[in-house]
Amino acid sequence: MPVAPPLTDEDRETSLREMEKNVRSALRLDRANKFVDRLGLKSGEKMQSGDMPISTEDDVLDSISCLVFASSGGANYRLQTKREETPSVPTPVDLKAGFNIERFEVERK
Protein backbone atom coordinates (compact mmCIF):
# COMPACT_ATOMS: atom_id res chain seq x y z
CA MET A 1 0.00 0.00 0.00
CA PRO A 2 1.55 3.34 -0.98
CA VAL A 3 1.96 5.88 1.76
CA ALA A 4 2.37 9.62 1.40
CA PRO A 5 5.02 11.58 3.27
CA PRO A 6 5.45 12.43 6.02
CA LEU A 7 5.51 8.84 7.29
CA THR A 8 4.59 8.01 10.83
CA ASP A 9 6.17 5.14 12.71
CA GLU A 10 2.87 3.31 12.33
CA ASP A 11 2.94 3.86 8.52
CA ARG A 12 6.46 2.42 8.38
CA GLU A 13 5.51 -0.62 10.46
CA THR A 14 2.40 -1.27 8.39
CA SER A 15 4.40 -1.01 5.16
CA LEU A 16 7.11 -3.30 6.52
CA ARG A 17 4.56 -5.95 7.54
CA GLU A 18 2.97 -5.77 4.09
CA MET A 19 6.35 -6.15 2.36
CA GLU A 20 7.24 -9.14 4.56
CA LYS A 21 3.90 -10.77 3.70
CA ASN A 22 4.45 -10.17 -0.02
CA VAL A 23 7.96 -11.65 0.08
CA ARG A 24 6.73 -14.71 2.01
CA SER A 25 3.98 -15.32 -0.53
CA ALA A 26 6.27 -14.70 -3.52
CA LEU A 27 9.15 -16.99 -2.50
CA ARG A 28 8.03 -20.51 -1.65
CA LEU A 29 9.41 -24.03 -1.82
CA ASP A 30 6.48 -25.28 -3.90
CA ARG A 31 7.19 -22.50 -6.38
CA ALA A 32 10.82 -23.60 -6.66
CA ASN A 33 9.85 -27.26 -7.10
CA LYS A 34 7.28 -26.43 -9.79
CA PHE A 35 9.87 -24.37 -11.64
CA VAL A 36 12.29 -27.31 -11.65
CA ASP A 37 9.42 -29.58 -12.77
CA ARG A 38 8.78 -27.26 -15.74
CA LEU A 39 12.44 -27.58 -16.78
CA GLY A 40 11.64 -31.19 -17.71
CA LEU A 41 14.77 -32.65 -16.14
CA LYS A 42 14.97 -36.34 -15.33
CA SER A 43 16.61 -37.54 -12.12
CA GLY A 44 20.33 -36.78 -12.28
CA GLU A 45 20.03 -34.32 -15.18
CA LYS A 46 21.42 -30.79 -14.76
CA MET A 47 20.73 -27.41 -16.31
CA GLN A 48 22.56 -24.10 -15.98
CA SER A 49 20.66 -20.89 -15.37
CA GLY A 50 21.77 -19.50 -18.73
CA ASP A 51 19.80 -22.29 -20.44
CA MET A 52 16.67 -21.90 -18.33
CA PRO A 53 13.54 -20.27 -19.73
CA ILE A 54 13.60 -17.18 -17.51
CA SER A 55 11.90 -14.40 -19.44
CA THR A 56 9.37 -12.80 -17.09
CA GLU A 57 9.47 -11.36 -13.58
CA ASP A 58 7.50 -14.41 -12.40
CA ASP A 59 10.25 -16.63 -13.82
CA VAL A 60 12.81 -14.54 -11.94
CA LEU A 61 10.86 -15.09 -8.70
CA ASP A 62 10.78 -18.82 -9.50
CA SER A 63 14.56 -18.90 -9.87
CA ILE A 64 15.06 -16.85 -6.68
CA SER A 65 12.82 -19.35 -4.89
CA CYS A 66 15.16 -22.10 -6.14
CA LEU A 67 18.14 -20.27 -4.68
CA VAL A 68 16.41 -19.59 -1.36
CA PHE A 69 15.04 -23.10 -0.79
CA ALA A 70 17.83 -25.24 -2.28
CA SER A 71 18.95 -26.52 1.12
CA SER A 72 15.40 -27.35 2.18
CA GLY A 73 14.66 -31.00 2.80
CA GLY A 74 11.61 -30.77 0.55
CA ALA A 75 13.48 -29.51 -2.53
CA ASN A 76 13.24 -31.83 -5.55
CA TYR A 77 16.61 -30.56 -6.81
CA ARG A 78 20.17 -29.80 -5.80
CA LEU A 79 21.66 -26.41 -6.58
CA GLN A 80 25.27 -25.40 -7.15
CA THR A 81 26.39 -21.83 -7.77
CA LYS A 82 29.46 -21.01 -9.81
CA ARG A 83 30.70 -19.01 -6.80
CA GLU A 84 30.74 -22.23 -4.74
CA GLU A 85 32.37 -24.18 -7.56
CA THR A 86 35.18 -21.69 -8.29
CA PRO A 87 35.37 -19.05 -5.51
CA SER A 88 38.59 -17.46 -6.80
CA VAL A 89 37.10 -16.59 -10.21
CA PRO A 90 34.78 -13.60 -10.74
CA THR A 91 31.19 -14.73 -10.43
CA PRO A 92 29.49 -15.01 -13.83
CA VAL A 93 25.95 -13.74 -14.25
CA ASP A 94 23.19 -14.43 -16.75
CA LEU A 95 20.98 -11.60 -18.01
CA LYS A 96 17.43 -12.89 -17.69
CA ALA A 97 14.24 -10.83 -17.97
CA GLY A 98 16.27 -7.66 -17.49
CA PHE A 99 17.97 -8.91 -14.30
CA ASN A 100 21.51 -10.11 -13.72
CA ILE A 101 21.23 -13.50 -12.02
CA GLU A 102 24.29 -15.14 -10.51
CA ARG A 103 24.94 -18.27 -12.54
CA PHE A 104 23.77 -21.49 -10.94
CA GLU A 105 23.01 -25.05 -11.91
CA VAL A 106 20.15 -27.27 -10.79
CA GLU A 107 20.20 -31.04 -10.75
CA ARG A 108 16.94 -32.94 -10.49
CA LYS A 109 16.98 -35.36 -7.56
Residue-wise pLDDT tens digits, 15-31: 778 877 766 667 889 99
92 Cα distance to chain centroid: 16
Please tell me the distance from the alpha carbon of residue 66 to that of residue 98, in angstroms, as a whole number.
18
Residues of the chain with pLDDT > 90, as a percent, come to 55
Residue 79: domain span: 9-108
- Give me the count of residues in the chain: 109
Section 46-51 average pLDDT: 96
pLDDT band at 56 (very low <50, low <70, confident <90, very high): very high
Section 55-61 average pLDDT: 91
Residue at 2 is within a domain: no
Other Cβ atoms within 10 Å of 42 Cβ, number: 6
Nearest CA to 103 out of 47, 31, 33, 23 is that of 47
> How many domains, the chain?
1
H helix intervals, the chain: 9-26, 29-39, 57-69, 82-85
Please tell me the distance from the alpha carbon of residue 94 to that of residue 15, in angstroms, as a whole number.
32
For residues 61 and 20, the model is more confident at 61
Residue at 65 is within a domain: yes
pLDDT at 1: 54
Residue-wise pLDDT tens digits, 72-96: 999 999 999 988 888 888 889 999 9
Residue at 1 is within a domain: no
Q: What is the pTM of this model?
A: 0.74
Task: Report whether pLDDT(4) > 70.
Answer: no
Those residues with Cβ within 8 angstroms of residue 76's Cβ, 6 or more apart along the chain or in another chain: 33, 36, 37, 108, 109
